[in-house]
A and B are shown apart, each in its own frame.
Chain A
Amino acid sequence: MRTIVGWLSQVVVVTLLNLRTIRQRLGSSAVAVVGIAGVVAVFVAVLSMSEGFRKTMATTGSPDTAIVMRSGADSEMVSILTLDDLRIVGDAVGVRRGEHGSYVSGELFVIVDLAKRSSNTTANVPLRGVGPSAFAIRPNVKIVQGRMFETGRNELIVGKGAAGQFAGTELGHTVRWGQNQWTVVGVFDAGGTVSDSEIWCDVSVLQPAYRRGSSYQTAYVKLESAEAFTKFKDALTTDPRLNLKVVRETDYFAEQSQMVSTLITTLGSIIALLMGIGAIFGAVNTMYSAVSARTREIATLRALGFGGGPVVVSVLAESLLLALIGGAIGGTVAYAGFNGFQTSTINWQTFSQVAFAFAVTPGLIVAGIVYALVMGLLGGLLPAVRAARLPIVSALREL
């Protein structure tokens, strides 16, 4: 027991001694801190981009909403539903019904070209034709500027993400696609979901404009409850008249985010890993010079009877402290610089633009700091061992 207490007190004494002398080695310590801070900032920033995208996709949809597509279709874009299909879907079990009938919205999802504000080049912007029930099915969608489109008229309402990213979406603006002219009459807020990147109009106007006759691409269906999904799905997939695929809205959008998330995460990890290695080398150099600057002090301590263990721990403690400071600075920089930053990218799976904001979550900051500590630990290990192994006599003789 006494030996453990003695050992611990040695650790404390040597560590404090080290930490007090950091001030004399400010330059090289700062280099290590900056190196680690840079790595953590980049690590957090890149992952927050992926996180932001994933979050946008993940918050889209609610578990009691189902999307009905033709079987074989892997996105709304390539699906087709006939009017008959839509009627059968509306009569199926599990569908919520209100005073205006079933909560079913037959929708069209097409792409139009608009100029991206940031680069002034054309981008694939999603244009969605929605039925009257669409707003009851998506209660988070609210008009925040202007007004709702009128049924039967060539009017558009624009998601606030799309309004920010694409030119020509200003209120009152008219756009021409093919032989049709459209007027922007409103802006809607869909609470940070994918719908924010979309432009909406009345589906009955979009059908003739795109020569779709009376057909739709997908049906959005509000269910009685989230649990009703299975019976609704079974009813449709076993119906011999139909050849449809039913997915929960939440699952659909989670899957749609995979490709872009993989891209960002893969690239981000490669970069963060490489940089981490670079920062470890920097930390190793700093700690080596820290140790060599104190060769005599360490040797004196050893001569006084301090053990090798406390010396190792003290060097590690110093490098971990530097790493912690670096990690905290890096996390703060990433948070200040990137959290909430609005951008948009193409989602390959729907071939259309998705606007999203970087999300620096507490989890990411913690991950960044853990990464910093790992770098500090690895960077301090070799120098710590060297410090403990210093031959006392020759070290004392050193200048």
Chain B
Amino acid sequence: MKYLPLVWRNLTRRKTRTIFTILSIVVAFVLFGVLAALNVAFSQGVELAGNDRLIIQHKVSLIQLLPESYQARLETTPGVIDVLHQTWFGGIYQKPSNFFMQCPVIPDRLLKLYPEYLLPADQRKAFLSDRTCAIIGRQTANRFGFKVGDRIPIQATIWRKRGGATNWEFNVCGIYDGDKTGVDTTSMFFNYEYFDEARQFGQGQVGWYVIRINDPAKAPEIAGRIDAMFASSFAETKTTTEKAFLQAFAKQIGDIGLIIRGIVTAVFFTILLVAANTMAQSVRERTSELAVLKTLGFPDGLVLTLVLLESCAIAIIGGTIGLGLAWLFTQGGDPTNGMLPAFYLPTADLGRGALIALALGVVAGIMPGMQAMRLRIVDALRRT
């Protein structure tokens, strides 16, 4: 402890260099944080997918509709507990760039299948009873300033009303939250019965099914049974786990995500390399001082420790500030307005970042520190 003032003095002898080294480490760790958030965002929340949920879609493509009558048949399939159908509404709020998903559902089935959506009791009641009610996720509600009691117009692109009108109006009667960070709260859900009666065509046709099964280990077996059940019908199905479904969807974004992540990783390590080089250089410049310390009787191990303390201090200060800033930045949520709903910094990555910061300090300090330790005093003093 008594050596701390010495370490501090060494850090402040070239204030500008120390400050700028710390700043570049800060930047590196902000990038690290953004990278971690992008990783989550590009995987579309795969980590949070329920492993007891399966998605059943039309075999040819997700855009092909399935009969509503499958619901009853799915319910009686052994191993299936809950069944919900969803349909892509694809409406526009004010302008196309204000994109968010709207989906007609049977309210009580939705809340049963997605317990991660939290809704206050009175709003829940309204959603279950009021047919023109819509519930909207927190993120989208905040984005457009929707409040409970608002009446919002949505222009249909696919589903016109009977008579050809494209204007649908919904009462916002609930705003749901996720039960943990990363739950997608960008969608709007509304009553399927209202939708089915009012739409111009397609009655009795739905987009896809989500089911809950009693044993995640039996997922492949149940999926196989379901697909076999509908095999010879016109609407053949393809059943996958929610996780596989989301993964495949994330892969569709393809190389873009991969390339951006690759680039950020490369940059992160480049900046670290540059910072480590600067830190090592500042120790090398002080070789003769270290020799003086040794002349005064400082043991080798202590000299090494002092050097390491110095470099670790820089790395940890920079790392902490950087991760803090990244955390603040990701609190703002999705920077692209709706395309990456799951944009947040996982706690595990904060820990990983802290470890990398510590490693940086050690790596940057160890080489010059070892050299300093092995120095022959006479040589070092001669070198000025």
Contact = CB atoms under 8 A, between A and B. Distances in A.
A128 interface: no
A285 B28 CA distance: 16
Interface string A30-71: 010011001100100110010000000000000000000001
Contacts of A123: 248, 251-252, 254
A275 B31 contact: yes
A271 B27 contact: no
A72 B160 contact: yes
Nearest to B240: A122
A306 interface: no
B26 to A, nearest CB: 9
Contact of A262 (B238, B253, B336): B336
B198 interface: no
A285 B278 contact: yes
Q: How large is the interface on A (under 10, 10 to 19, 20 to 34, 35 or more residues)?
A: 35 or more
Interface string B350-369: 00000000000000000000
A313 B238 CA distance: 69
B69 interface: no
B252 A110 contact: no
Interface in A101-116: 110-113, 116
Most buried by A among B16, B28, B59: B16
A122 B247 CA distance: 10
B77 to A, nearest CB: 22
Interface stretch (B208-216, B269-277, B372-380): B269-277
Interface stretch (B106-114, B177-185, B256-264): B256-264
Interface string B6-24: 0000000000110011011
Contact of A124 (B21, B61, B259): B61
Given A72-B160, A78-B157, A346 B259 contact: no
A71 to B, nearest CB: 8
Contact of B277 (A31, A46, A72, A75): A31
Given A110-B61, A346-B252, A38 B270 contact: yes
B63 interface: yes
B166 A72 contact: yes
Interface stretch (A85-93, A134-142, A150-158, A276-284): A276-284
Contacts of B234: 178-179, 211
Contacts of A46: 259-260, 263
Given A179-B234, A285-B20, A343 B62 contact: no
Contacts of A267: 38, 260, 335-336
A304 B137 CA distance: 72
A121 B160 CA distance: 34
Nearest to B255: A343
A175 B250 CA distance: 24
B12 to A, nearest CB: 15
Contact of B339 (A77, A277, A348): A348
Interface in B239-297: 247-248, 251-256, 259-260, 263-264, 266-267, 270-271, 274, 277-278, 281
A73 interface: yes
Given A118-B255, A121-B247, A123-B252, A351 B63 contact: yes
B5 interface: no
Contact of B255 (A210, A259, A270, A345): A345
Contacts, number: 167
B236 interface: yes
Interface stretch (B92-100, B116-124, B128-136, B186-194): B92-100
Interface in A225-243: 243
Given A270-B34, A285-B17, A263 B339 contact: yes
A264 to B, nearest CB: 7
A274 interface: yes
A263 B38 CA distance: 12
Nearest to B57: A113
A82 interface: no
Most buried by A among B61, B64, B96, B253: B61
Contacts of B260: 46, 267-268, 271
Contacts of A72: 155-157, 160, 166
B336 A111 contact: no
Contacts of B339: 259, 262-263, 348
Contact of B270 (A35, A73, A118): A35
A209 B296 CA distance: 91
Contact of B61 (A113, A262, A263): A113
Interface in B25-48: 27-28, 30-31, 34, 38
Contact of A77 (B63, B156, B253, B335): B63
Given A46-B263, A119-B254, A266 B155 contact: no
Nearest to A292: B14
Contacts of B79: none
B99 A345 contact: no
B115 interface: no
A344 interface: yes
B72 interface: no
A258 interface: yes
B301 interface: no
Nearest to A265: B336
B248 A288 contact: no
Interface string B333-354: 0011101100000000000000
A78 B158 contact: yes
Most buried by A among B23, B24, B92, B335: B24
A257 interface: no
15 contacts: A31-B274, A35-B271, A49-B256, A111-B62, A118-B255, A211-B234, A262-B337, A267-B260, A275-B27, A277-B27, A278-B27, A282-B274, A284-B16, A289-B17, A343-B255
Given A78-B157, A263-B339, A282-B24, 14 more contacts: A31-B277, A34-B274, A71-B166, A78-B90, A113-B60, A118-B254, A121-B248, A271-B31, A275-B271, A277-B23, A282-B274, A343-B255, A345-B254, A351-B63
- The 3 closest A-B CB pairs, nearest first, are A278-B27, A281-B24, A346-B252
